[in-house]
Amino acid sequence: MFGLADVNSFYASCEALFRPDLRGKPVIVLSNNDGCVIARSAGAKKLGIKMGAPWFQIRAQAFSEPVHVFSSNYALYHTLSQRVMMSLEAMAPRVEQYSIDEMFLDLTGIDACEDFEHYGRRLRQYVYDNTGLTVGVGMGPTKTLAKSAQWAGKEWPQFRGVLALSPENPKRTETLLSRQPVSEIWGVGRRISRQLGIIGISTALDLARASPAYIRKNFSVVLERTVHELNGTSCIALDEAPQIKKQIACSRSFGERVTSKTAMQEALCLYATRAAEKLRAEQQYCRQINIFIRTSPHATGEVFYGNSAGEHLIIPTQDTRDVIETAMRLLDKIWLEGRRYMKAGIMLDDFTPDSIVQPDLFDDSRIRSNSLQLMKVLDGINQSGKGSLWFARQGVDKEWTMKRDMLSQSYMTSWSDIPVAYIR
Annotate 258-318 with DSSP letters as a single string. Answer: E-SHHHHHHHHHHHHHHHHHHHHHTT-EEEEEEEEEEE-TT-TT----EEEEEEEEEEEE-
Beta pairing partners, 68: 27
Helix (H, G, I), strand (E, B) or coil at 252: strand
- Report the DSSP pairing between strands 135-140 and 95-99: unpaired
- 3-state SS of 130-172? HHCCCEEEEEECCHHHHHHHHHHHHHCHHHCCEEECCCCCHHH
- Residues present in the chain in total: 424
Per-residue pLDDT, 362: 62
The radius of gyration computed from the CA coordinates of the chain, to the nearest angstrom, equals: 25
pTM (2 d.p.): 0.79
Gap between the Cα atoms of 287 and 101, Å rounded:
32
Closest by CA position to 271, among listed 343, 340, 207, 369: 343
* 196 Ramachandran zone, left/alpha/beta (phi>0; psi -120 to 50): alpha
Per-residue pLDDT, 363: 60
Look at the alpha carbons of 320, 377, 414, 78 in this order and tell me if their dihedral is positive or negative: positive
* 392 Ramachandran zone, left/alpha/beta (phi>0; psi -120 to 50): alpha
> Side-chain half-sphere of 3: how many Cα atoms within 13 Å?
31
Gap between the Cα atoms of 295 and 415, Å rounded:
38
Helix (H, G, I), strand (E, B) or coil at 204: helix
Distance in angstroms between the alpha carbons of the first and the last residue of the chain: 50
Mean pLDDT, 10 residues at a time, the chain of 424 residues:
94 92 92 90 92 90 91 92 95 91 92 90 95 95 95 89 91 94 91 92 94 93 94 87 79 89 94 94 92 91 93 92 95 94 94 70 70 91 82 80 84 82 75
Closest by CA position to 288, among listed 304, 311, 268: 311
Q: Cβ distance 275 to 247 under 8 Å?
A: no
Beta pairing partners, 247: 349
Closest by CA position to 204, among listed 228, 223, 183, 234: 183
The set of residues, in sequence order, having a beta carbon less than 8 Å from that of 343 and lying 6+ positions away, is 251, 252, 253, 254, 293, 294
Q: Cβ distance 62 to 23 under 8 Å?
A: no
Whole-Å CA distances, 253 to 17, 216, 250, 267: 29, 40, 11, 10
Beta pairing partners, 307: 293
DSSP assigned state of 90: T
Structural domains of the chain in order of their starting residue, each with its CATH number: 8-76 (3.40.1170.60), 78-230 (1.10.150.20), 247-394 (3.30.1490.100)
On the 0-12 / 13-18 / 19+ scale of CB atoms within 10 A, 244 is exposed
Gap between the Cα atoms of 398 and 389, Å rounded:
16
224: how many CB neighbours lie within 10 A of its CB? 20
Longest dimension (CA), the chain: 76
Closest by CA position to 208, among listed 137, 148, 166: 148
367: how many CB neighbours lie within 10 A of its CB? 15
